[in-house]
């Protein structure tokens, strides 16, 4: 991890239009990402955690230019300088990639896995055919698959192997930045461990920057350098892994940490858990003031009056809560 910025996100809003009625002129938006500002640094793994519907995948896709921005900006840096709009498209395609959650629907069943991994090379490079095949074989070895398998089709592989193919495809154009969108949640526990180990190894070897989106905090603990916690379209806390796990400040982070089951019966039964009341509110109609106010155990009436800003409590540990000075 370095201190050079790779991506700077400012006041980002991504809304989904859900006003479907023909006669209703009132616009209804699901505020998937609502006022998010965050930096991603070169060669770091930023873990993005939150429950379903909190906007973490939307944020990941917005960074890759896959969602229309409602407001705000996303800037990329190269050698300390902002990439301008003209170069952005080319830069984005060559340097930013994604690994999807479901290895069954993210690979084209009619293409051989070799062709799947080769496709980015066909589009973005001018390599000769034989060079491409060499590169594909090399990529297969990098992700721990036998290079002789390139002529097979996706259905011949297990979930874990398919996820490896998805990783090889993402690595094909030697990207700098990869969004890993819940890359292991569709896999069995013993296979999950293989894939996290692989991602961690590749990140170190190739100097990648990863945005690791997950709902599983113990996995994020294993792989991330910094962690951002999202709730209802907002980042409520962000900081170094140590700060988030050892010194969580936001009541939501605390509740989230306390609800992860620990695979140790003695410890698991000793802990006191913070059990949050109720459900996550509808993102089309978020609560007034602090988004967490409806479920917060420390709620005070002032919390519904204004929205808390992300402010720093030390160096790089930021939290958005009124009750923390």
Name the residue among 251, 252, 242, 243 with its Cα closest to residue 50: 252
Residue with smaller CB distance to other proteins, 80 or 265: 265
CB of 161 to other proteins, least distance (A): 7
CB of 142 to other proteins, least distance (A): 17
CB of 127 to other proteins, least distance (A): 32
CB of 170 to other proteins, least distance (A): 21
Residue with smaller CB distance to other proteins, 34 or 192: 192
Residue with smaller CB distance to other proteins, 85 or 279: 279
Residue with smaller CB distance to other proteins, 98 or 255: 255
CB of 312 to other proteins, least distance (A): 24
Residues 6+ apart with CB under 8 A from 196: 184, 219, 222, 223
CB of 214 to other proteins, least distance (A): 11
Tokens encoding 166: 């998805």
Residue with smaller CB distance to other proteins, 66 or 260: 260
Q: CB under 8 Å, gap of 24 or more: what pairs does 272-280 form?
A: 280/51, 280/53, 280/54, 280/231, 280/232
Query: What are the percentages of helix, strand and coil residues in the chain, rounded to 5?
Result: 35, 25, 40
Q: What's the CA gap between 201 and 114, in Å, rounded?
A: 22
Contact residues toward other proteins (CB under 8 A) are 51-52, 158, 160-161, 188-194, 196-197, 215, 217-219, 221-222, 245-246, 255-266, 268-269, 273, 275-276, 279-280
As beta bridge partners, residue 147 has none
Residue with smaller CB distance to other proteins, 205 or 264: 264
Instruction: Determine if residue 5 is left, alpha or beta; phi over 0 gives left, psi from -120 to 50 gives alpha, anything else beta.
Output: beta
């Amino acid at each position: 991890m370095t201190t050079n910025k790779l991506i700077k996100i400012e006041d980002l809003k991504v809304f989904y239009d859900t006003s479907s009625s023909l006669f209703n002129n009132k616009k209804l938006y699901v505020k998937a990402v609502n006022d998010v500002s965050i930096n991603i640094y070169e060669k770091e793994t930023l873990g993005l955690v939150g429950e379903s519907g909190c906007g973490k995948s939307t944020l990941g896709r917005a960074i890759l230019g896959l969602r229309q921005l409602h407001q705000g900006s996303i800037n990329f840096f190269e050698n300390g300088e902002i990439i301008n709009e003209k170069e952005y498209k080319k830069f984005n395609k060559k340097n930013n990639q994604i690994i999807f959650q479901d290895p069954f629907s993210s690979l084209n069943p009619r293409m051989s896995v070799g062709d799947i991994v080769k496709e980015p090379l066909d589009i973005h490079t001018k390599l000769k055919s034989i060079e491409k095949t060499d590169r594909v074989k090399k990529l297969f070895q990098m992700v721990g698959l036998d290079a002789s398998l390139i002529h097979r089709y996706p259905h011949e592989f297990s979930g874990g192997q398919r996820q490896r193919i998805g990783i090889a495809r993402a690595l094909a154009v030697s990207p700098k930045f990869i969004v890993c969108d819940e890359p292991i949640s569709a896999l069995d526990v013993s296979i999950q461990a293989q894939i996290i180990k692989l991602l961690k190894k590749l990140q170190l070897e190739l100097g990648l920057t990863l945005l690791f989106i997950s709902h599983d905090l113990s996995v994020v603990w294993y792989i991330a350098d910094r962690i951002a916690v999202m709730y209802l379209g907002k980042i409520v806390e962000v900081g170094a892994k140590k700060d988030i796990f050892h010194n969580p400040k936001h009541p939501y982070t605390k509740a989230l940490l306390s609800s992860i089951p620990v695979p140790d019966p003695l410890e698991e039964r000793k802990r006191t858990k913070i059990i949050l009341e109720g459900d996550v509110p509808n993102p089309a109609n978020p609560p007034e003031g602090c988004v967490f106010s409806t479920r917060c155990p420390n709620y005070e009436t002032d919390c519904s009056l204004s929205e808390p800003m992300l402010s720093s409590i030390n160096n790089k540990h930021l939290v958005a809560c009124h009750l923390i000075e």
